[in-house]
Amino acid sequence: MRSLIGGSGQRVTQQRTLLLDMLRQSGGHLDADELYRMAREKNKSISLSTVYRALRLFKKLGLVEELHFEEEHHHYEGKPHGEHFHIICLNCGRIVEFESSLIAQLKREMSEKENFEIKGAEVHLTGYCDPCRGKVTTEEAETTRASRK
């Protein structure tokens, strides 16, 4: 990290180090507000604008990935070692990472078919996790019954 940030002409600050460590250790997909709240617990002087500037820098340097799910804001995760994909619950927002050989097969097939050099894939599947599936079904049924009255 130090060589990447320093090589970009930027300073390696305590706040940037903290933010990158938190992203890598979270094991999850944090948005800027979540990262800010977590960082404030460890460093009261950090500002939300510092978080946004650091995230832009980390993204530019390839240290984190910016993910766009079904929401208007972005999520960030430490740059993964391998390609992986996401399943997102439309009710609670839970995110599950997965790998699939089918994606590699699809990339090869499309590369040959369309004469493309494919460099990556972004796949996210949406639906309802097991705990939410029952809640959503119940809520939908109640809404349907109420609309019939």
* Cα separation values, 126 from 63, 88, 96, Å: 26, 5, 10
Which band of pLDDT confidence, cut at 50, 70 and 90, is reported for residue 69? low
> Is the confidence at residue 4, as pLDDT, over 90?
no
d(CA 83, CA 144): 41
- Which of 4-8, 45-49, 64-68, 145-149 is modeled with the greatest confidence? 45-49
DSSP-derived letter for residue 75 is E
Domains along the sequence of the chain with CATH: 1-81 (1.10.10.10), 82-149 (3.30.1490.190)
Which band of pLDDT confidence, cut at 50, 70 and 90, is reported for residue 70? low
Note the pLDDT of residue 78: 66
Which of 110-148 are b and which e, b meaning 16 or more Cβ less than 10 Å from the residue's Cβ?
A: eeeeeeeeeeeeeeeeeebbeebeeebeeeeeeeeeeee
* Cα separation values, 54 from 26, 114, 136, Å: 16, 38, 38
Note the pLDDT of residue 61: 83
**DSSP of 80-125:** PSS--EEEEETTT--EEEE--HHHHHHHHHHHHHHT--------EE
Note the pLDDT of residue 8: 62
Which band of pLDDT confidence, cut at 50, 70 and 90, is reported for residue 16? confident
d(CA 68, CA 99): 18
Q: Are strands 85-89 and 124-127 parallel, antiparallel or unpaired?
A: parallel
Write down the pTM of the prediction: 0.56
- Mean model confidence pLDDT for the chain: 79
pLDDT digits (tens, 9 = 90+) for 37-64: 999 999 999 999 999 999 988 888 878 7
Element spanning 140, H or E = helix 130-148
Note the pLDDT of residue 39: 94
